């Protein structure tokens, strides 16, 4: 009898003891965090996409159109034509989210009814400088010359309509890449209409190993507030071009060197909750109908904030992906409203704190990522004062490959707790 009680007592203690143990292990597992280690110091860039290269002109409205608008408006102060001319000179140089200057349009309130009828995206699209007018010689990619307009595609950016090379989100390629890159890495390319694999890659490094092009800068009319030149943006091919970019002035050649490392997650990291690993996999969330990318998530934040403030989104910067929330396009008054609210858009992360949770900007890092850092060396090799030459290339043939892993998995955690129990 006494024996039996003793065994029951022992059994209960064992149950509690192991329960306590499991709880401790679980706590350790729950508090797990990630570590990053170097897998390789010479991972070839040939295995990773060449970045997209987006070229925006100083004035996004073609010089001939601005001139024609100016002539139509001249000698008719206060007319609709003058209002239209002013609207286009402002739109020619505006960059999102710094819309502030567009507030000047309030002077033409009398013509708002008529201007509101314009599809501003379409007006800007008609006013883009045609591709075959831009380049003055064939473009070089990797090892031979191409027709530039075969390499460059129309691209929406924070500057409006520009041209991009190797982008998965250009006006052409975004139709083809809606589900590209979403489901693991079994297929890391898509095929264009010629059957060629995109995004393009190169194993070479140094000048003339990547993209090289030469163009003529537009003359800038005195009433457009900018300096002749271009802005070049270097990005992950799947990311919308939204950063400031690198300026290249006319009469110069820019050598743009690219470097940056690659980070891969381990297989078991996917089992950890996103809040713990602080990163998302491409198939975990969609923005713009595409796999998760932090930069596109931030872009989506801007869309939501614009919609919150003004009830519309300018579609010459953004693509209005129908399966997401279908944001209405801004008309003139919508853009004036955005101009009034542009200071709210400058630091959307700070503004968050007091807003409802569905408007909060939560964009964790990418679990898989390839960094593309760049800098420019400017030289004077151009043959004329309005020529611009740009050469974009990898600085070396390899980068570092990092691997992110969890510090504790369940078995490690168990080992850890057992070690902690005092002997
Ligand atoms: C200027 O006015 C003419 C005649 O009204 C018109 O055909 C032309 O399209 C206008 N130019 C622009 C750029 O709107
Ligand atoms: C405005 O123009 C753009 C570009 O041409 C077009 O894609 C869009 O459907 C137009 N929007 C409306 C409301 O007509
Ligand atoms: C935050 O929201 C509360 C209630 O809506 C309001 O009283 C407060 O002034 C807001 N604070 C800021 C900084 O906007
Ligand atoms: C490049 O050209 C500019 C103006 O033409 C001149 O001021 C500058 O000294 C030149 N730089 C070099 C390195 O030749």
Total residue length of the chain: 423
114 and 183 together in one domain:
yes
Closest by CA position to 161, among listed 10, 280, 57: 57
95 and 207 assigned to the same domain: yes
- Residue 335 CA to residue 312 CA, distance in Å, equals 9
Query: 13: Cβ–Cβ under 8 A, 6 or more apart, which residues?
Result: none
Asked whether residue 61 falls in the same domain as residue 16, the answer is no
Residue spans of the chain under pLDDT 50:
423
Interatomic CA distance for residues 317 and 169, integer angstroms? 12
Report CA(352)–ligand 3 centroid distance (Å).
11
- Count of C-beta atoms within a 10 Å radius of residue 204: 15
What ligand has the least distance to the C-alpha of 74? Answer: 1
**Alpha-carbon separation of residue 352 from 10, 260, 349 (angstroms):** 55, 31, 5
Nearest CA residue ID for atom 2, ligand 1:
72
Give domain status of residue 223, yes or no.
yes
Q: Return the pLDDT at 339.
A: 93
As for ligand 2, residues whose beta carbon falls within 6 Å of it are 119, 121-122, 125, 329
Residue 328 alpha carbon to ligand 3 centre in Å = 28
Q: Which of 118, 119, 318 to mutate to test the pocket of ligand 2 (most atoms within 8 A of CB)?
A: 119
- Are 173 and 290 in a shared domain? yes
pTM: 0.85
Residues 2 and 94 in one domain: no
Cα angle 175, 178, 181; round to 5: 135
Chain segment 266-318, per-residue pLDDT in tens: 888 888 888 888 899 888 888 877 788 898 888 888 888 888 889 999 988 87
> What range defines the domain where residue 261 resides?
44-403
Do 95 and 25 share a structural domain?
no
Residue 329 CA: which ligand is closest?
2
Cis before residue 199, ω within 30 degrees of 0?
yes
Same domain, 229 and 180: yes
Say yes or no: 73 and 26 in one domain. Answer: no
Q: Are 63 and 84 in the same domain?
A: yes
- What residue's CA is closest to ligand 1, atom 6? 72
Domain-located, residue 399: yes
For residues 155 and 234, state if they share a domain. Answer: yes
Residue 126 lies in a domain: yes
Q: Are residues 218 and 301 in the same domain?
A: yes
Question: Does residue 331 sit within a domain?
Answer: yes
178, two tokens: 């809606």
Residue 368 backbone dihedrals phi, psi, to 5 degrees: -95, 135
- Is residue 343 in some structural domain? yes
Is residue 37 situated within a structural domain? no
Residues 336 and 357 in one domain: yes
How many CA within 13 A on the CB side of residue 372?
Answer: 22
37, β-bridge pairs: 403
The pLDDT of residue 407 is 76
In a domain, 39, yes or no: no
Mutate to test the pocket of ligand 2, among 91, 118, 122, 335 (most ligand atoms within 8 A of CB): 122
Question: Is there a domain that residue 188 lies in?
Answer: yes
Distance (Å, rounded) from C-alpha 421 to C-alpha 47? 47
Q: What is the whole-number distance in angstroms between the Cα of residue 145 and the centre of ligand 3?
A: 59
What's the number of domains the chain is made of? 2
């Amino acid at each position: 009898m006494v024996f039996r009680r003793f065994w029951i007592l022992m059994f209960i203690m064992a149950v509690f003891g192991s329960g306590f143990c499991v709880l401790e292990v679980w706590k350790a597992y729950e508090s797990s965090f990630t570590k990053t280690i170097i897998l390789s110091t010479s991972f070839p860039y040939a295995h990773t996409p060449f970045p997209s290269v987006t070229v925006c002109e100083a004035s996004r409205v073609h010089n001939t159109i601005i001139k024609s608008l100016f002539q139509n408006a001249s000698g008719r102060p206060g007319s609709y034509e003058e209002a239209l001319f002013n609207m286009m000179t402002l739109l020619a140089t505006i960059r999102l989210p710094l819309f502030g200057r567009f507030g000047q349009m309030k002077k033409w309130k009398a013509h708002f009814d008529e201007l509101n009828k314009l599809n501003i995206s379409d007006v800007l699209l008609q006013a883009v400088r045609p591709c075959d007018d831009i380049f003055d010689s064939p473009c070089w990619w990797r090892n031979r010359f191409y027709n530039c307009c075969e390499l460059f595609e129309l691209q929406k950016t924070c500057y409006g309509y520009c041209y991009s090379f190797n982008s998965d989100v250009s006006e052409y390629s975004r139709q083809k890449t809606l589900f590209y890159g979403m489901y693991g890495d079994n297929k890391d390319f898509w095929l264009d209409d010629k059957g060629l694999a995109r995004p393009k890659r190169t194993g070479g490094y140094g000048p003339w190993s990547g993209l090289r092009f030469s163009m003529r800068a537009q003359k800038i009319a005195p009433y457009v507030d900018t300096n002749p030149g271009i802005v070049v943006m270097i990005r992950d091919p799947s990311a919308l071009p939204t950063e400031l970019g690198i300026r290249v002035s006319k009469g110069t050649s820019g050598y743009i060197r690219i470097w940056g490392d690659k980070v891969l997650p381990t297989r078991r990291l996917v089992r950890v909750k996103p809040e713990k690993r602080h990163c998302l996999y491409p198939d975990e969330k969609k923005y713009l109908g595409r796999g998760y990318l932090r930069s596109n998530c931030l872009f989506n934040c801007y869309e939501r904030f614009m919609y919150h403030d003004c009830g519309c989104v300018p579609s010459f910067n953004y693509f209005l992906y129908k399966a997401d929330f279908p944001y209405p396009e801004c008309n003139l008054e919508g853009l004036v409203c955005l101009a009034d609210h542009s200071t709210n858009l400058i630091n959307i992360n700070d503004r968050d704190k007091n807003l409802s949770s569905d408007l909060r900007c939560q964009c964790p890092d990418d679990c898989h990522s390839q960094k593309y850092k760049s800098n420019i060396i400017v030289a004077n090799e151009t043959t004329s004062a309005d020529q611009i030459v740009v050469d974009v290339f990898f600085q070396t043939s390899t980068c570092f490959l990092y691997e992110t892993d969890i510090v504790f998995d369940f078995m490690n955690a168990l080992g850890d707790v057992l070690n902690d129990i005092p002997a």
